[in-house]
Amino acid sequence: MLKSLRWKIPLIVAVVLGSTWLAYPLNEKIALGLDLQGGMHLVLEVQADKAVEASLERIADDIKRAIQDEDIEVESVSAHLEGSRIRVTLADAVDAAQVDKILKGYPYLKKGEVAESGAELTFNLDKSEVQRIEENAVHQGLETIRNRVDQFGVTEPTIQVQGKRRILVQLPGVKDPERAVNLIGKTARLEFKLVDDQRSVQDALAGNLPEGDEILHQRQVDKETGESSKQPFLLKRRTILTGETLTNAEVRFDSEFGQPYVAIAFNSVGAMVFHQTTKENVGKRLAIILDNNVYSAPVIQDEIAGGRAQITGHFTTDEAHDLAIVLRAGALPAPVVILENRTVGPSLGRDSIEKGVFSAIIACVLLFSFIIVYYRLSGLVAVLALVLNVILLMGSLAYFKASLTLPGIAGIILTVGMAIDANVLIYERIREELRIGKTVRAAVEAGYDKAFTTILDSNITTLIAAVVLFQFGTGPIKGFAITLCIGLVASMFTAVFACRVIFDLALGRKKLDRLSI
C-alpha cells in the first residue's frame, strides 16, 4: 500500500499545484461571460438571396464572355433572382445550338424556356446549387465576422450559427456597442471604378443616365457644424478591382497633417491590374468605393507600380482602424440584417456575480456542515476533497480559456453536490462493512471497491447528458455543460482517488481499531 502512495501523493500534489498556478489570479485567468460582466448580444440574419443574386451576375458575366470569345453576337445576358434564372438574348437564332454547347460547361445550369424566335434562351440555376450558395454565404459570413471580432480584441466572444440564416454574436465587456455593430454589420465590399468625367453628372441625375454608367455618392461631414452631405459621382459600372485581391490593409498617418489613412497592398494579380489601369488612365479619376459609398476619387497623376494604394476619407483614428480590420478580414458574402441588439449593463453583471457567489457560498457551507456533523473526521476528508474539486475546476476553466457564466456557476454548485453524493455512497458502504464486523482496513477497501461501480455509472450517464447539452445547446446551456463536464471528471479524481489516498495514508501509518465515520 505504502509503495503505491509513492506515486499517488506526488501526482495529487502536482495536479493541485498545477491547477492553482493555472487559475491564479482568478480574475485575470478566467473570463466572465456576457451575463456576468455585461456586453452585447446580437442576432444577425444573412441575406443569402443577395449571395445568390451576386453569383448569378458573375455567372452571367462569365457566360457573356464565353459566348463572345466564340465570335457569337449576343445582345444581352441578364441575371434574374426570381426563379434563379439567366436569360441569354442572341442577335441571331442560328447561334442558339452553339450557345447550348457552351452552356454544357456549366453543369449547375438547366435549360429552361426558349422564345418563339429561338433567339432568347433561359437557363435555371439548379436548386441544389442555390442551397449550396446560401449555406456558404452563412458559413463564410460566420468566419468573416469571427475574423473581424478577433482583430477587434474582444475576449471570449461567442459566434455561432442559429438556424439556417442567423448568426448569434455575444461580445462580453464591449465598451463601445455602436462601433462594434458598425464593424460587424459592414459588408465591406471594396471596389475600384473609373469616374466618367466625359459626361455630366447633373444630366445623369436628371434621368439621362448613360449606358454602362451608375451614380454613387460620397458622404461628407462638416467638422465645424457636424452636418453631412452627399456628393454624387458618375462612375463606369465596370469594376476594375475588388477587395478580393488585397493582401494587407493597415493604418498610417500622413506626414503633413498627421491625418490617418488606410494603406492597402494587392496580390500579384491585383498589382498587375492596378498598374495597367493607372498606366492607361493618367489624368483620369479612380474612385475607391466601399459598400457603394465613394470614399475618395483621386486623379491618377502617373502610373502606379508595386501594388500599393491608399484610402483617404477624413477618418478618425478609430474609423481608420475599423476600416483596416474589415478589409483584412474580407467582405461578407452577403449583407446582414440585425434582428436583435441587446446590451447587458455592468451593474446587472455585478449583481449576478454577487448573487451567484453568495448562493455558492451558502450551498458549500450547508454541505460542509452536514458532511462534517454526520461523518465526523471522515466528513472533514470529504470537505478537503471538495476544496480540491473546486481548485481543479477553476484550473481547468483557465486552461481551456472557458468563460464563466451564471449557468456555469450553477454547474459548479451541482458538481459540488454530486461530489458529496459520491463520498456519501462510499461512506455508507464503509459503514455497512464495519457493521458486519470487518476491520477498518478491510471495510475501507470494500467500501471503495463496491461504491466505485455505482459512482462511475452515475457520473458517466450524467457526463453523456452534459456532452449532448454542450454539442447541441447554445449560449448559457453550453456554459452549464462545460462546468458540469469538468466538474464530473474532477469529482471522480478527488472523491475516489484523492480521498482513498488520505485513508490509505492514515491506515498505513498505524493500525486503527475505530474509524471516525
Per-residue pLDDT reduced to its tens digit, 25-44: 776 777 777 777 778 888 99
Query: Coil, strand, or helix at residue 81?
Result: coil
Please state the domain extents for the chain.
2-36+347-509, 49-130, 186-342
DSSP H helical ranges for 153-305: 177-185, 201-205, 268-280
pLDDT < 70 stretches in the chain: 1-4, 27, 115-116, 155-156, 221-224, 226, 345-350, 352-353, 356, 474-476, 509-510
What fold does the segment set 2-36+347-509 form as a domain?
Multidrug efflux transporter AcrB transmembrane fold (1.20.1640)
Q: What is the pLDDT of residue 353?
A: 66
- The CATH architecture one would assign to domain 186-342 is 2-Layer Sandwich (3.30)
Q: What is the pLDDT of residue 422?
A: 87
CA 58 to chain CA centroid, Å, is 28
**CA-CA distance, 56 to 79, in Å (whole number)?**
6
What is the pLDDT at residue 350? 66
CB-CB contact of 405 with 36 (8 Å): yes
Q: What angle do CA 43, 44, 48 make, to 5 degrees?
A: 150
DSSP string, 163-185: TTTEEEEEEET-S-HHHHHHHHH
Q: How many CB atoms lie within 10 A of CB 256?
A: 6
CA distance 406 to 416: 16
The pLDDT score that the predictor gives to residue 509 is 67
Question: 64-74: buried (b, 16+ CB within 10 Å) or exposed (e) per residue?
Answer: bebbeeeebeb
Pick the CATH number of 49-130 from 3.30.70, 1.10.287, 3.30.460, 2.40.128: 3.30.70
Per-residue pLDDT at 3: 62
| Alpha-helical runs (H) found in 123-267 | 127-152, 177-185, 201-205
Instruction: Look at residue 319 in the predicted model and tell me its pLDDT.
Output: 82
